[in-house]
Amino acid sequence: MDFFKQNHELLVVNALLCSNEPIYICTQVKKIGDKIKADGESVVYKRVEELKKFAGDKGVVLLLNGEKVLYTSKGELFKSTINLFYTTKYITKANKGFLALARKEEVEGVVESFLGNNIFLIDLYIGSFSVGLFYKKYFVNKEFKTSYFSLFFDNEDCIEVEKNTNSLLEIEIDNEKEAMIALSLLYDHYYPSDRLISSYENSVITENKSENVHKSEFRFYGKIALMIVFAIMSLSFGITVFFSIQNEEIESKLNYLIQEESLLNKLSKERSKKEEILRISGVLNSDGISYWTNTIVKNIPESILLSELEVFPLEQKIKENKKVDIDGTLIIVRGISFDENRFNNWVKMLTLKEEIFKINIINYSQKKEQEVRFELKVELNR
């Protein structure tokens, strides 16, 4: 249960250093146990004071991007002036190095404005190289492109970095891309990679980072202490309190059973309604409805949740004194699948049944990671 896991609420601020004033893209992120996820859409601010109100007392991870951040694969060109810059070095799997550079006065200016407004700054990155650490897991295409920079990949490795020099007015915010940048930064923040090396150091930020960890631990152990006190008080009044911590598999089974019961109730109501329609229309023939629905429902894997079954759907709206046309060989199945292999095996198993003539997959679209909505058209042998 999430109550017993360490809970962090953080804010990733993507500061685009432009020719005029910076623009701040803020993405809220939650870390519950080992899971990190973006919380809502990104918000844009142009003033640090407004950003402070939004951030509150959350820990802030600052990312510097934009026109004033340079990207290069030829670090030797900056060898004589490297002391003028703070850098983040990204080392590819092929041991090739890319640099993101920002002038020290630019970096210090942003950091001072944050700390001066009592923003709880816990980490700082220059450039969005952290995205490259998670290429294999997150990307299908060979590029990661925003309106202000692009990373290009080949064989699951970064091969090119490109900065977009368009004006501030042309910058567009892509919530999905900003969430990806924020999540990759947070993964490196909590689980640092030896392929991402920063030259920036600040004692205040280091102390804040340590304090943020301690605050989270304090809240976590505070919850435990509160539960212990509550248990002692409950025992003193003769009340026995049982806590059941269920894993995700058990919760999934419970949700499935609830969903199945709801679906069966819905089907029962639908059956009664259709039987009445059939009686009125004079073409009553409901002998096989329970048999067909049972054929489809009884062998559903745990990774599939049905949301709707249309048994012998009407071909048109019902009108008074008009004959009702019913397709007695068709069942429409809608639902959600969390496992592609089990879904394919289930469909294959249904096609092998002699009662079923053909199955067409009308829709199979991914809405979230590992969640696919589907719609099947099942034609029966009648």
pLDDT digits (tens, 9 = 90+) for 99-110: 889 999 999 999
In sequence order, the β-bridge partners of residue 38 are 29
Q: Encoding tokens for residue 9?
A: 């609420």
Pairing of strands 59-65, 7-16: parallel
- Rounded CA separation 290/145 (Å): 52
pTM flag (> 0.85): no
Q: How confident is the model at residue 11 (pLDDT cuts 50, 70, 90)?
A: very high
Q: Which domain holds residue 144?
A: 2-206
AA letter at 28:
Q
Domain assignment present for 48: yes
Domain assignment present for 311: yes
First vs last Cα of the chain: how many Å apart? 49
- Rounded CA separation 15/213 (Å): 24
Q: List, for residues 78-117, the tens digit of each pLDDT value.
A: 877 888 999 998 888 878 888 889 999 999 999 999 999 9
Pair 187, 75 in one domain: yes
Q: List, for residues 263-312, the tens digit of each pLDDT value.
A: 888 878 877 777 666 554 434 444 556 777 777 777 788 888 888 888 77
Pair 275, 326 in one domain: yes
Pair 189, 110 in one domain: yes
pLDDT at 165: 64
Q: Of the candidates 172, 187, 206, which is a domain's last residue?
A: 206
Pair 177, 252 in one domain: no
Identify the three-state secondary structure at position 197. Answer: strand
Measured CA to CA in angstroms, residue 158 lies from 35, 72, 92, 142 at distances of 26, 12, 6, 9
